[in-house]
Structures are given as C-alpha cells and as structure tokens.
Amino acid sequence: LPYVPRVSPAALPGKLTATTFALERPCCIFDRHANASDTVWLVVAFANASDAFRNPPSWADVPLYERLPFAHSYMTLETAAAAYACSAPSPAVLRVGDDTACGGQGGRDPCNGPLPSPGPYRVKFLVMGCHGPKAETRWSDPILLRRADSPCTIDPAPARRGSDVVVIASILASLGAVLAAAVLSAVGYGGCAWGSLCRRDSGTSAFARRSYRTHHIPPALPQPLPPGCRCSPPGLGCFVPRPPGPCPTK
C-alpha cells in the first residue's frame, strides 16, 4: 500500500518522549484489503534493521516485544481491521510504547512496551489474516525519540530573583530539623530516665496502690536552763559560768 506512517503533525503534549511517540492513525487505508476477521499490526524496528525484517507467516511467529534487543524488531497494537475503517469513530493518534506493564507476561503475548533507546525507529502497518500477511504499508521515515537531559546541563544555582527566598527557606528548614531533633531527644531522654527509675524501684507501683501513714516526730519542747546558765551567742548553745579562780600570789 502507498501509505507511509508518520508521527502526528498535531501539536500534542508528549508527542515525542524518551520512550514513546504518537503515531498518526491510518483511516480508510485497509478497507479494500481486509475482512472483518483480519487484524492490523504495527511493526516497530530499528531503522537500520527494517530492511532485514520478514513478515511472519502466522500469528505464532509474530516477533514479541521482549525480543527487541536481540531481534531488533517486534509487532504490537494488534487491532481489528474494522477499527481503521472510514466509518469507525477512533482517536486521531496511536501511542506507541505507553504500556509500562510490559515485561511481566513472560514473553507470551504481544505488548506495547516503552522503547528502550532513542532509536531511530521505523514503523509500518501489516494486515494479517488467518493464513498470514495480506497487505502492508511502506516503512515510515526514521523516528528519533527525545533524549533525557544530562544532569550536567542542570544549573545548580537558583535564579537571582528567587535566591533570597531559597536561602531563607533552607535556613528555616534547617532550624526546624534541629528543633525537631532536640524535642525528640528530650522526649527520648525523659522516657529513658523515667523507665530507669521505674526499673530501679521495682516496688513503686505496689507502693502507689497501698495506703500508708507516715511517722510523726513531735518538735522538741524548750527545756529550762540549768542554774547559773546563761545563753551564749545564737548557735553556740549554753554554758555554765565557772567561778573566778584565786588571785595569783606574788
């Protein structure tokens, strides 16, 4: 068939990413070449391996997504031919590589998994019936995916206008972390100290549940001073004055 697949010319978000691309959906292309029981497949191959691709003779020989690194091609998006008819309402694009769950089927079923490298890739549509291929389109032009930005291209310095805000936010975040650590440390230390006290006094809980009386020690009553006792300066107690001794003789 003269139809050439191509990436959708519409301005779509994510039309080309590092692992997917949005392909224009063919319409009214297979009406005269396919029956209601036929299916339309999309063949995806590395650009330098597209010439070596051979259409599989049956469904059992369809190259699978899991073998792409070794076979350099696979088939996906198996769809009933009626979905591409002129009268069929259908979306305008086909998203190639958007099934992130691929790889978990063990290679038993066709899958529309993410593309493993930027490529370039070439694609074509293939109509298959019960007895094998019936019609095919031309190969597309090479499709190169977007490469992820290198970390070296990221500017680590913030914009001049927002640098003060970034610095203040960093300081506040640091203070918050320090305060949180201090609170946690205090709570942890208090819990450990209380636990150690409880462990040290094994009878504390039993003591708390028991009624008890304390021993009352009455205050000492003032005692009468002995005869001839006079008070010394406060804090030095009392003493009895001694009688004067005999005068020394000459």
Kindly tell me the burial class for residue 72, based on how many C-beta atoms sit within 10 Å of its own C-beta (0-12, 13-18, 19 or more): middle
pLDDT of 72 over the 80 cut: yes
For residues 143 and 165, the model is more confident at 143
pLDDT, tens digit, for every residue of 160-183? 444 554 556 566 666 666 666 665
Give yes or no for residue 140 having a pLDDT over 70: yes
pLDDT at 208: 41
Tokens coding 206: 């039993």
Q: Which range in 144-148, 164-168, 195-199, 228-232 is most confidently predicted, on average pLDDT?
A: 144-148
- Residue 156's CB is within 10 A of a number of other CB atoms, namely 5
Work out the mean pLDDT of the chain and round it to a whole number: 74
Q: How many of the other CB atoms lie within 10 Å of CB of 105?
A: 14
Question: Is residue 212 over pLDDT 70?
Answer: no
**pLDDT band at residue 75, thresholds of 50, 70 and 90?**
very high
Cα–Cα distance for residue pair 87/81, rounded to 1 Å: 12
Other beta carbons within 10 angstroms of residue 46's beta carbon come to 19
> Taking the complete model, does pTM exceed 0.85, yes or no?
no
For the stretch 20-38, what's the b/e string if a residue is b when 16 or more beta carbons lie within 10 angstroms of its beta carbon? bbbbbbbbebbeeebeeeb
* pLDDT for residue 77 is more than 50: yes
